[in-house]
Amino acid sequence: MKYFSTRDSDKKNYSFTDVLLKGLAEDGGLFVPVEYPQINGATLTKLRDLSYKDLAFQIMERFISESIPAQDLKDILDKTYDASVFGSVAVAPVVPLFDGIYLQDLSSGPSLAFKDMAMQFLGHVLDYELTRRGESLTIVGASSGDTVSAAEEALRGKNKITVVMLTPKEGMSPFQKAQAGSILDRNIYNLSVPGPFDICQDLVKELNSDLTFKSKHSIGAVNSINWGRICAQVVYYFKGYFSVTEDNTELVDVVVPSGNFGNVLAAYVAKQMGLPIRKLVVATNENVVLDTFFKTGVYKQEVVTVTSSPSMDISKASNIERYFFDLVGRDQDALKKLMHTFETTKSIDLSPFMTEIRDKAGFVSATSTHNERKAVIQSTYKKTNRIIDPHTAASVKVALQLKAADGVPMICMETAKPTKFEEAIEDALGFIPSRPEGFEGIEEKEQRFFDVLDSVESVKSFIRTLLD
């Protein structure tokens, strides 16, 4: 399997491990596979009863192929999806929630967020590849909440990797902030940036565009711009499909809370591979950039509204470029022109592609308000005794709204444990849920953050002081 950049007219090919270490392409584009590997009906049947580890190998080996020997990849996946990491041998289990609506548990990893599903793999595979090459890497990433602790849990203590994570000074929940700040390993550095997540994300992209600086300091990425994360996330859509169907003639709809578009992009990739997903349902909050796009074809950056579901408080979805690339026929020149227009005007009109977006890809979307998410948290607890976080509530609200009468199962992606958003849960239910073991009193632990300005030079200066 080879990869190229969405913006490289020369279509230079790279291996999986090359794009793993590079993160973002030098031309500012995102790496994508030259083609999506296909899984036909007979092979799909063979995958149905595999353990999660074995399923992950069968799916991911198609993206990694010759880059990592098969036995080495199996060893990496054994460590990644061990029961001691995810609390059970039943990784990413699916449970019934309401009639025809299911919930897939993706947040039983060490940071209590779905990002552990891919980040744990990324930590092990990066360490493996850097050791093999005798190299080191400086991870620079941005997070609106969950990515920071998931990345740092996966990379802490790895002596070939230095981690520099940018987070907004305001907007993270107290629990999220304490999770990140209390990881004090010598290779972990949290930078606190004034302004919303979008500024943090822009700073990371701007830093990566300085090729001299990037090369000198061996800058890499663990945000969902890194294909390694998308690749790992594809697996749990196969697991979810097998959990609610009996044979491969059945269809499912998936409902994904989305801000940065990485999680639902993985569902899209799974569908392109041949997984029988009918609808890719994008659930958003009051920040409606994605909802507007999937309803009208117009993708327009807006001012961010701070909400009770902060991980979706994003006005630019960094992964959507990968979908735009497919939408324009995988034409790098057309994609470059499109992204230049967006970067210049903050808006692009893809309405001529609405038939492909809706009918071929199967994208639909809907929004939620704070009061709607609150009501769903209340009704879910009352009917099932299960507490869901406000991001998961956004997906359940949309599932209830769009549930079809034809009986096609809808799988909602659980994104985080409710303890990460105690204020929202207390507002809805009148009490704070019990915390998982080991997370009691986390806010009282020693925390370490480094303040920087909202400028790329301030971030570069910090990295120079750290590494030079």
pLDDT at 310: 81
What percent of the chain clears pLDDT 70, i.e. is strictly above it?
A: 99
Average pLDDT over residues 30-47: 95
**The tokens of 218 are what?**
């061996």
What percent of the chain clears pLDDT 90, i.e. is strictly above it?
A: 81
pLDDT at 149: 87
Residue 213 has pLDDT above 90, yes or no: yes
pLDDT at 75: 98
Residue 456 has pLDDT above 80, yes or no: yes
pLDDT at 174: 83
Residue 145 has pLDDT above 80, yes or no: no
Helices (H) and strands (E) in the chain, counts: 20, 15
pLDDT at 87: 84
Average pLDDT over residues 416-435: 93
| Most confident region among 155-159, 235-239, 313-317, 441-445 by mean pLDDT | 235-239
Residue 96 parent element (H or E): strand 94-98
Confidence of residue 197 (pLDDT cuts 50, 70, 90): confident
How many CB atoms sit inside 10 A of residue 61's CB? 17
Residue 376 has pLDDT above 80, yes or no: yes
Please report the DSSP string for 203-268 in residue order. HHHHHHH-HHHHHHTTEE--STTSHHHHHHHHHHHHHHHHHH-SSTT--EEEEEE-SSSHHHHHHH
More confident residue, 55 or 170: 55
pLDDT at 180: 86
How far is the C-alpha of 237 from the C-alpha of 102, rounded, in Å?
Answer: 13
Going by C-alpha positions, the residue among 123, 119, 91 that lies closest to residue 104 is 91
Q: What is the mean pLDDT of the chain?
A: 94
Q: What is the pLDDT of residues 83-142, one digit of tens each?
A: 999 988 889 999 999 999 999 999 999 999 999 999 999 999 999 999 999 999 999 988
Neighbour-count burial for 29-41, b at 16+ CB within 10 Å, e otherwise: bbbbbeebeebee
Domain boundary assignment for the chain:
94-111+248-429
Confidence of residue 405 (pLDDT cuts 50, 70, 90): confident
Residue 160 has pLDDT above 80, yes or no: yes
Residue 80 has pLDDT above 90, yes or no: yes
Residue 273 has pLDDT above 80, yes or no: yes
Residue 313 has pLDDT above 90, yes or no: no
Residue 173 has pLDDT above 80, yes or no: no
How far is the C-alpha of 94 from the C-alpha of 243, rounded, in Å?
Answer: 6
More confident residue, 41 or 337: 337
**Which numeric CATH code is attached to 94-111+248-429?**
3.40.50.1100
Query: Is there a catalytic annotation at residue 115?
Result: yes
More confident residue, 408 or 159: 408
Confidence of residue 417 (pLDDT cuts 50, 70, 90): very high
Residue 351 has pLDDT above 90, yes or no: yes
Decide if 144 contacts 413 (C-beta within 8 A).
no
Average pLDDT over residues 388-417: 95
pLDDT at 14: 97
pLDDT at 306: 84
Confidence of residue 314 (pLDDT cuts 50, 70, 90): confident
Confidence of residue 223 (pLDDT cuts 50, 70, 90): confident
pLDDT at 205: 86
How far is the C-alpha of 45 from the C-alpha of 111, rounded, in Å?
Answer: 33
Decide if 25 contacts 317 (C-beta within 8 A).
no
Active-site annotation holder among 79, 115, 397, 417: 115
pLDDT at 41: 86
Asked which of 200-209, 233-242, 390-399, 447-456 is least confident by mean pLDDT, the reply is: 200-209
